[in-house]
Amino acid sequence: MIKYILIALATGALAGYANSNLGVFDNSAAGFLFDASLVFLVFMMGLSFGKDRDALEKMKKKGPRILALPLAIAFGSILGGAISGLILGIRMVETATVSAGFGWYTLAGPLTGQMFGAEMGALGFIANLLRELITIVTMAATAKIDRYMPIAFGGATTMDTTLPLMVHYCGNEMAVTAFASGFALSIMAPFTITAIGSLG
């Protein structure tokens, strides 16, 4: 699975390079296809959940406890971001804001850029994109250590782009936990980014 994802990523990078130099592709059409593919992916996973009565029952049984994982991930992400700022000599509020995107790079980049300028906006985009890519590349290994580790690495991405891999490597029984964690973090991200950014 990882091999095919990396091949697809490399092919996409080549297509993007060709587009920027030759104008081969329509950017609006590419954006539409990307969004449509994500919507279709989430629809199919939702269909899978809907058919799996056991998964729905497990989510009901967990109740509010299912929020413990995303809250812990959010706290760890923000704390780790702040510490990285201390190590790298960047303002802690800025690096904490970047990490508060939880892997949602298309949100973290623009929001961070609005508050701290283009340089931090670029860092917000790249850091959160790398979080998703590192999750994908390391998932086969981290899932063997602990099935919750890839979910923590993935952050907000576990509700869509990394969800199929979560199911593949962590098992069907972790699908509900991964989706719920990613969903909660996706809801939290706009608020955590702006709240922490306002402190700067």
Cα 121 to Cα 33, 65, 85, 103, 168: the distances in Å are: 25, 34, 15, 14, 33
List pLDDT tens digits, range 38-87. 567 557 656 766 666 665 666 667 777 788 999 999 999 999 999 999 99
* Distant-in-sequence contacts of 120-127, Cβ < 8 A, 24+ apart: 120/94, 123/98, 124/97, 124/98, 127/98, 127/99, 127/101
Residue 90, Cβ density class (10 Å: 0-12 exposed, 13-18 middle, ≥19 buried): middle
**In the chain, count of helices (H) and strands (E)?**
10, 0
Predicted local confidence at residue 50, as pLDDT: 67
Predicted local confidence at residue 132, as pLDDT: 94
pTM: 0.72
Residue ranges per structural domain of the chain: 1-38, 67-200
All residue ranges of the chain with pLDDT < 70 are 1-6, 9, 19-31, 34-35, 37-39, 41-42, 44-46, 48-60
Q: Determine the Cα–Cα distance for residues 62 and 54; give it in Å rounded to an integer.
A: 12
Return the CA Rg of the chain.
Answer: 18
